[in-house]
Structure 1
């Protein structure tokens, strides 16, 4: 099917990127201007900003409590943004929807960004918050059994990497992982995946833009051959938590996400793969106001509640 008409309208209005090097500060400021005022955001029972004291240092987090309950499953969420963009505010609407749809307490992570913070600072922040949840179980009213990680785009990179770190470091608490159109192979050879060629131009994220957008992270010391940078390069995926992988039809990163899901299944990991036709990269963060694309958030909630099927 063609790209969704509402997405097509917006893509047609996006100007060509300015020539010259990317300016992280200006791009971040442009994102923040688009954050809706608090009064216009989806209501959640309780929202709290706090700091998680982790082995990596103090990490800002925002905690979304969906309802009054004695205990909760907890979802730790990592926002996208090519490792140098995004914030607690730019993805606040995603975290709110995930809390309401899942019934989990959602903890959104304000991890350190490149280029100011070199690899693996942001990744260690994300892992540290997961570890902090297990240490603060009583204060967070964690039920002790349901602990999920989720992320979109580069946040999906972190979510996949954190599950591997947890397995390797003996932290067995993570029960679920949700990867929204994840970036899993930071070797951006356009011939590596068919979707890199099929969706190279005209759908928002373009194949030619992958290297410059991720350069801040890679230039900070992130090696694309490292499985913590490119999770698809991990040889043994067995023993990882059950997974929901959501991809978009018109996304250069579509095929690596779908290959990762297939490899998880082959390794014996219970995995749900769901492709959203007519969607482009970033659709959960950018187009969840379109009912059929909000369905990805509802699907994530169903998966966490135990109702999703392969």
Structure 2
């Protein structure tokens, strides 16, 4: 199907990006200006900010408790933004909808970003926050069953990297991984995946923009050949948690997400792969107000509940 008409309309009205190199501070300020006021956000039983004390240091987290139920599952969420954009605020609505739909407590992680932080600071923060959540399960109302990690775009890159680190460390508490349109291969050769050329222009995120947008992360010491940076390059994917991988039809990175899903399946990992027709990269963050794309949260809930670990 063609690009969803509402997405196409909005993309057509977007102004051209300013000339010159990317300015992280200006781009972050622009994102922050779009964050809706608190009174316009989805209400939940409780939302609070705290600090997770981890081996990597003190990591800001925002905890979303959907109901007054005493115990339930946990979802640790990593926001997207090409490793230098995004924040607890810009993805607050995603975390709220995840909590509401899944019934799980969501811990959103305010990890360190490039270019200020050198690799692997952000990844260490994310992994440390997952370990912290498991260690503080009683305080968080965890029932000891579901402990999922979820993320969108570069946040999904951290999801895949964290599950690999956890497996290698023998940390087996993670039960599920949820990857929304993941960025899994930071070698941006346009010929590596057909979608890099098929969806190169006109769908918001463009193939030519991948290198400059990810340059802050790569210049911070992240090597695209390292499986912690490009998780699709991990040789052995066996033993990783069950995965929900969501891709978008008109995303340059669509095919790497779907190839990763096939590789997980070949390694014996249970995988649910869902391609959203008419959608572009970023639709969970930007277009989940469109009813057919809001279904992604219900699908995430069904995935977590359908493979519940007893």
TM-score range, shorter chain: over 0.9
Question: 1:306, 1:7 → 2: CA distance?
Answer: 31
Contact 1:201 1:207 in 2 (8 A): yes
- 1:148 positional shift: 0.2
**Following TM superposition, by how much is the alpha carbon of 1:145 offset from its aligned partner in structure 2, in angstroms?**
2.1
Q: Structure 2 CA distance, aligned partners of 1:269 and 1:53?
A: 31
TM-superposed deviation, 1:69: 1.7
Correspondence list, 1:255-274, <5 A: 255-274=255-274
Deviations 1:80-106 (A, max 9, x none): 000000000000000000001001100
Partner SS state of residue 247, structure 1: strand
Distance 2:274 2:101 in 1: 17
Structure 2: how far apart are the matches of 1:202 and 1:163?
33
Q: Separation in 2 of the partners of 1:272 and 1:134?
A: 25
CA distance in 1, matches of 2:13, 2:119: 35
Partners of 2:41 and 2:198 lie apart in 1 by 36
Given the two structures, how large is their TM-score scaled by the length of structure 2? Answer: 0.98
Aligned-residue offset at 1:307? 6.9
How far apart, in 2, do the equivalents of 1:147 and 1:154 lie?
Answer: 20
Q: Which residue of 1 aligns with 2:31?
A: 31
Give me the whole-angstrom Cα distance separating, in 2, the residues matched to 1:286 and 1:145.
31
Q: Secondary structure at the match of 1:12?
A: helix
Deviation at 1:144, TM superposition (A): 1.3
- When the two chains are superposed, the root-mean-square deviation of aligned CA atoms in Å is 0.9
| 1:278 aligned partner | 278
Rounded to whole Å, the distance in 2 between the matches of 1:294 and 1:138 is 31
**Residue 75 of structure 1 contacts residue 149 of structure 1 at CA under 8 Å; is this kept in 2?**
yes
In 2, are the aligned partners of 1:184 and 1:256 still within 8 Å (CA)?
Answer: yes
The residue that corresponds to 1:232 in the other structure is: 232
Alignment of 1:48-127 (within 5 A): 48-127=48-127
Q: Counterpart in 2 of 1:187?
A: 187
Q: What is the CA distance between 1:259 and its match in structure 2?
A: 0.4
Does 2:179 correspond to 1:170?
A: no
User: 3-state SS of the aligned residue for 1:62?
Assistant: strand
Local SS of the residue matching 2:13 = coil
Distance 1:266 1:76 in 2: 26
Contact in 2 for aligned 1:70/1:141 (Cα 8 Å): yes
Task: Tell me the alpha carbon deviations over residues 169-201 of structure 1, each in whole angstroms, 9 at most, x when there is no partner.
Answer: 111100000000000000000000000000000
Instruction: Answer with 179-188 or 128-137: which moved more.
Output: 128-137
How many angstroms does 1:281 deviate by? Answer: 0.1
How far residue 135 of structure 1 moved from its aligned partner, in angstroms, is 1.2
What do residues 52-98 of structure 1 show as CA deviations (whole Å, max 9, x unaligned)? 00000000000000111221110000000000000000000000000
In the TM superposition, what is the alpha-carbon distance from 1:236 to its structure 2 partner? 0.5
* SS of corresponding position for 1:149: strand
Worse-superposed segment, 62-71 or 186-195:
62-71
| Structure 1 runs (4+) greater than 2 angstroms displaced | none
C-alpha contact 1:250 1:280 (8 A) present in aligned 2:
yes
Aligned counterparts of 2:254 and 2:106: Cα–Cα separation in 1: 26
CA offsets 1:180-225 (integer angstroms, 9 cap, x no match): 0000000000000000000000000000000000000000000000
The answer as to 2:42 corresponding to 1:42 is: yes
Q: How far, CA to CA, are the matches of 1:19 and 1:40 in structure 2?
A: 34
Partner of 2:248: 248
Q: Is the 8 A contact 1:101 1:302 kept in 2?
A: no
Aligned residues: 308
Cα separation, 2, equivalents of 1:79 and 1:62:
12
Deviation at 1:44, TM superposition (A): 1.0
